[in-house]
Amino acid sequence: MIIPMHEQKPVRLTENRFPDYDVLSKRLTPSWNEKTREVITRRLAIGSDPRFFTPDEFQTVRAIADRIVPQPKTRPPIPVAALVDDKLHRHKEDGYRHSSMPREGEAWRRGLKALDVDAQQAFAARFRDLSDRDQDEMLARMEKGLLKGPAWGAMPSNTFFKTRMARDVVLAYYAHPTAWSEVGWGGPASPRGYVRMDFNERDPWEAAEVKDGDVESARRKNRRVG
């Protein structure tokens, strides 16, 4: 369930858990093979102009992503909307879908149109032009299946939220190396793999998390990760 951003308690940003860790420092080391480098290079090169969404749709996707995966102001943002757009442009589908859902691209277009129609009815404005609080309210209604306007057709709004919209947004965020660095993930374990397999043990090429408040120790280790 979504907890509206305006109701959430402040939390420490995840980037502080792995200080000075940058997963891209592994780029030319034995931690990554050539296929991994190729995939990440292409992912980092995704442009900011939409190729699947219309410009209006793209602005709505950006507004949705800002509410579902809000990002810190202390670093360049992960281009979540562009990553979703790229996936749809390349027809990268899951290979399965709920019986009430159309194919991915059609589901997105219908869902974005229906969300704007319902936002106009509720607040006399498009979704992307609403306040943060009103955007949260619209997403919460969608998650609960309370958006039932004719623009949705046979596609339930809560199924769209759970199996398509929120899923694609979250997966796009955590497909990006910036998110990997924030959670201390090193990317695919091939070809290097892992050596220290017991609980709470760390290989030298893994990120070091702050323990017992010792930020400097984690920072020193993370500067040597590769």
**CB within 8 A of 176, min separation 6: which ones?**
43, 78, 79, 83
How far apart CA 138 and CA 56 sit, in angstroms, is 18
Q: What is the pLDDT of residue 191?
A: 87
125 Rama class: left (phi>0) / alpha (psi -120 to 50) / beta: beta
Q: Looking at 13-123, list the stretches that DSSP marks H as alpha helix, in order from N- to C-terminal side.
A: 34-44, 55-68, 80-89, 104-123
For the chain, the straight-line distance linking the first and the last C-alpha, in angstroms and rounded, comes to 37
Tens digit of each residue's pLDDT, the chain (226 residues): 555 544 554 334 444 799 999 999 999 999 999 999 999 999 999 999 999 999 999 999 999 999 999 999 999 999 999 999 999 999 998 898 899 999 999 999 999 999 999 999 999 999 999 999 999 999 999 999 999 999 999 999 999 999 999 999 999 999 999 999 999 999 988 888 888 888 888 998 899 999 989 999 999 999 988 7
Q: What is the pTM of this model?
A: 0.88
Q: What is the pLDDT of residue 9?
A: 45
How far apart CA 115 and CA 157 sit, in angstroms, is 9
Q: What is the pLDDT of residue 166?
A: 97
Burial of 171 per CB tally in 10 Å (0-12, 13-18, 19+): middle
What residue segments make up the domains of the chain, in order of their start? 5-222
Q: What is the pLDDT of residue 13?
A: 44
Q: What is the pLDDT of residue 15?
A: 47
Q: Is-cis flag, bond preceding 79, omega within 30?
A: no
